[in-house]
Structures are given as structure tokens and as C-alpha cells.
Chain A
Amino acid sequence: QAGLTQPPSVSKGLRQTATLTCTGNSNNVGTEGATWLQQHQGHPPKLLFYRDIYGPPSGISERFSASRSGNTASLTITGLQPEDEADYYCSAWDSSLSAWVFGGGTKVTVL
């Protein structure tokens, strides 16, 4: 099952802004929206945004925001902090596959 496309890594300086992208197609991201997850090494994932709209949950910084244009979703992290270093995954329900598909993940490094 074809997955979503994410850049493998993004590196930005402390307090800078990082924008992560997630590209799918009209059967998944384009119609169902993207779900974003954050995963620190050795821990389960944490939900940031569910299907574009819902989030961030309580306890997640408001420095995170999500948006979408067509088949590409974006996660923006403003004012990068050391604790933002993590892997970020996007996922979307694919209506043609009747399956959730994931991107390969983006590793964010805060310089």
C-alpha cells in the first residue's frame, strides 16, 4: 500500500520555525485530512493533530499548528525548543484502500 511522502529530516536553529510537509493524493490527505504524531525516541507516539482539525490536545504546545493545501499537509513548529527534537509522522485514512497510510517520518533536529 502506497504511503505518504515526508522529508526524512529537517534541521533548524533554536527558536526558529520548522515546516514539515506530508504529500498524499486525493484518496487520502486530499479528502480525509492528515493526522500528525510526534514520537520521542523510546516512547509511544503522541497525537498532535487528528484529520487536520482536532488538536493540539491539552498538554501539547500551541507552538504546533497544522494546515493543508490540496493533497499536501503541513505541520509548523514555531519557536523551536530542544524538546521538539523528535520524529514526526503523518497519517491519513485512504478511502480507496480502506486503510490508514503513514508517511516515513521526519526527524527534526534543533541546532
Chain B
Amino acid sequence: EVHLVESGGGLVQPGGSLRLSCEASGFTFSSHWMDWVRQAPGKGLEWVGNINRDGSVKHYVDSVKGRFTISRDNAKNSLYLQMNSLRVEDTAVYYCARDYGDWGQGALVTVSS
């Protein structure tokens, strides 16, 4: 059974940094592209970015380019989202997803002073 577990969420001040992790199990992690998708409170889904199987190709939504970095460690079956220069509008639940078919429970990131 596929499991995706996000961790690292929390409260951070504007301009601060946070690193989310997503630990994967139940499938061959290194064989799949992985995505980060977020959802602001009471709002719809927004794709944040994705990364290919070996980490050599990454794509991002315009609003996070230059601030967020996606990486992965296939030896640890883990996906990461490094978030810098955080803004109030980055407040959301952040989900990691495999091919949109499997999702974690999400990690809440709150950016507030």
C-alpha cells in the first residue's frame, strides 16, 4: 500500500524559511515523478511544482520560482520542499503527490507575524 507522509509544517514569520519532507513507502520511489500541491484555507488546489525521477528536471509555478526548491533523495525515499522568503499568501496545506493518484495527508504551513 502506498503511503506518503508529509512533515515539517508549522508557523513561520514572513521572510522566513521552512523545509517540508515527504516520506514515501509502498512503491518504487525512484521510478516516479513527484509533485507538491498546496491549498490555502478555504481555497482551491494549486500546483506548486514537480521533480522527475532522478531529480534532474524540476518545474515550478511562477509565484514560487526563485523562492522554493524541490529536491529528492531516492536512497531515503524522500521528497523535499525548501521554502524561502515566505509570504503570507504561501499559507496553505502542502500535499505531496505521486502521479496525482496518491496523496499525503498534508502539512500546514502558516506564514504570519
Contact = CB atoms under 8 A, between A and B. Distances in A.
Interface of A: 1, 35, 37, 39, 44-47, 50, 57, 87, 89, 91, 98-105
Interface in B56-87: 59-62
Contacts of B99: 50
Contact of B46 (A47, A50, A98, A102): A102
A89 B47 contact: no
30 contacts: A1-B62, A37-B45, A39-B45, A44-B95, A44-B103, A44-B105, A44-B106, A45-B45, A45-B95, A45-B100, A46-B103, A47-B100, A47-B101, A50-B99, A50-B100, A50-B101, A87-B44, A91-B45, A98-B59, A99-B47, A99-B59, A99-B62, A100-B35, A100-B47, A101-B47, A102-B44, A102-B46, A103-B44, A104-B44, A105-B44
Given A37-B45, A89-B45, A104-B44, A44 B35 contact: no
- Give the interface SS of chain B, mostly helix, strand, loop or mixed: strand
Nearest to B49: A99
Given A35-B100, A91-B100, 17 more contacts: A1-B61, A1-B62, A44-B103, A44-B105, A44-B106, A45-B37, A45-B45, A45-B100, A47-B101, A47-B102, A98-B59, A99-B59, A100-B50, A102-B47, A103-B44, A104-B44, A105-B44
